[in-house]
Each structure stands twice: as C-alpha cells, then as structure tokens.
C-alpha cells in the first residue's frame, strides 16, 4: 500500500510530512513556494490521515517504513526531509534508520523526547461528530466548539471534513485507530538513534514543545543540528508565521 501524495514542481526531492490529525493539504501554500525554488515537493499523507490508506497498525517504526516504501516507489534518493510534530518524529526516525536516503533533515516544533498524551479533548470532540445528524460544516463546528474553544485549532481539525456522498459528511482520519493508538504519538526516539548530517530544528517562540532542556537531547542525537526560533508563532509555526518559516528553511537548504 502506497501513501497518497501531492507532487509539485521539478528538481531536488523535498518531502514534507504533516502532524497528528493533519494532512498534506495543510502544506499546500508553502509546498508551492518551495517548488518555485527548484524543488520537487512531495506533500505526503501519512497512514490513517488525509487520502492515504487506513490500517490498524500505527507506530513510528511503521510510519518510517511507509516512507521508505514511498521513496522506493518514486525512486527518491538524497531527499530533503521536513516533518512537523508527529511528522517530525517520523522524519527523525526515518533519517536515523536510512541516513543514505536523506541529505538534510528539518524538524518543525518537536523534540526526540517522550510527550504525555494531550489530545484527549480534541479526540473527544471529533468523536462527538455524529454524521447521521450533522449536515453542514457549520453544524460540525458548533459541536466541536463545545470541546475545542480555539478557533484556529477547530479550523485545522475541520479540514478533515469531506463529503462522502451527497448530503453525508465524514472525516478523512481513521479516528478509531488514532484514538486507540494515541499514546504512540508521544513516544520518544530510541536513545541510540543518531543522524550525523545537517539538521535544522525549528520552534515557535510561543510553543513549549522544544524547551531549553530539549536542546542537549537534540544535539546528542543530531550532532550537526541547528535550533532556530520562529517569532510570533506557536506549535503551528508554519501556518502562524509562514514568511519567517519559509526564509529559515530556504537559508538552511541552500
């Protein structure tokens, strides 16, 4: 089974992995910008997300294997690999397992450490969407709003809504499996895993995902890593400050 992707442009392969409950579409604007800099951008949907296949098995080892299979099918080598949050963990593990396939690694707002489960309320809200009753995006937003008060977060989550058929909405995420395996999302990178090539870790100045304590851990496993802070941005730094994010990425990859 091959991961779904949206491929934009021609040039050096640049693979982008979205975060938990996200999809490749979240990266469309930036992906287009990167493609204009002579990159062939692969916006990839990870399993149980977006338009990719659904499966009961879900762990970072499996997500890394999915990406390996994707690279083989598309004959990609020497890739630039960028991952956000959950996608960043997949990217980290992939680069330590298959360093020959990765020329440069970029990780957006996640550290190699363990994170406790913190998506409970969001998953509860998504589970409350009863699509035999909900007939519009507005109604879905109203229900989700009882669980998720932040408007931006709700808009991000509601991007998963789609018309299964006329008059019938559904979600593009495999909610049951993701609820069951949510603890996997916070798993740490194995302590022995190392990537000895260029790496860039980007963090939002308003995010707590990469703290001062994480810096030593990052450098221990990614000795050539640079850590850059994007101003006026939280965890979704690429959406909150796309201009500075784009510039930091381009400076690093060039």
Catalytic residues: 85, 235
DSSP 8-state code for residue 235: T
How far, rounded to the nearest angstrom, does the alpha carbon of residue 180 sit from its chain's CA centroid? Answer: 19
Query: 42, 14 in Cβ contact below 8 A?
Result: yes
- 207-219 exposure pattern, b = at least 16 Cβ within 10 A, e = fewer: bebbeeebeebbe
Taking CB atoms within 8 Å and a gap of at least 24, the contacts of 159-167 are 159/22, 159/23, 159/25, 159/26, 160/21, 160/23, 160/126, 161/137, 164/131, 167/135
Question: How many other C-beta atoms can be found within 10 angstroms of the C-beta atom of residue 189?
Answer: 22
User: In DSSP terms, which residues pair with 199 in a beta bridge?
Assistant: 105, 225
First-to-last alpha carbon distance for the chain, in angstroms, is 33
Q: What is the DSSP string of 159-204?
A: TTEEEEETTEEEESS-HHHHHHTHHHHTPPPPTT----S-EEEEEE
Question: How many other C-beta atoms can be found within 10 angstroms of the C-beta atom of residue 130?
Answer: 10
Query: 126, 103 in Cβ contact below 8 A?
Result: no
Helix (H, G, I), strand (E, B) or coil at 29: helix
């Amino acid at each position: 089974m091959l991961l779904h992707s949206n491929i934009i442009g021609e040039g050096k392969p640049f693979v982008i992995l979205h975060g938990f409950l996200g999809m490749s579409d979240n990266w469309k604007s930036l992906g287009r910008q990167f493609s204009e800099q002579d990159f062939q951008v692969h916006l990839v949907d990870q399993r149980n997300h977006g338009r990719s296949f659904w499966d009961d098995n879900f762990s970072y080892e499996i997500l890394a294997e999915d990406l390996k299979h994707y690279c083989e099918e598309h004959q990609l080598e020497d890739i630039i690999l960028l991952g956000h949050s959950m996608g960043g963990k997949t990217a980290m593990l992939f680069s330590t397992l298959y360093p020959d396939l990765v020329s440069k690694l970029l990780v957006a707002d996640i550290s190699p450490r363990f994170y406790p489960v913190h998506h409970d309320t969001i998953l509860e809200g998504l589970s409350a969407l009863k699509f035999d009753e909900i007939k519009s995006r507005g109604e879905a937003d109203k229900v989700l709003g009882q669980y998720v008060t932040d408007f931006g977060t709700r808009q991000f989550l509601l991007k998963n809504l789609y018309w299964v058929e006329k008059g019938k909405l559904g979600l593009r995420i495999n909610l049951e499996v993701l609820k069951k395996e949510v603890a996997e999302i916070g798993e740490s990178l194995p302590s022995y895993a190392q990537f000895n090539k260029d790496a860039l870790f980007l963090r939002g100045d308003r995010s707590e995902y990469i703290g001062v304590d994480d810096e030593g851990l990052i450098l221990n496993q990614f000795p050539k890593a640079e850590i850059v802070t994007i101003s006026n941005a939280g965890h979704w730094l690429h959406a909150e400050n796309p201009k500075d994010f784009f510039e930091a990425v381009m400076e690093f990859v060039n």
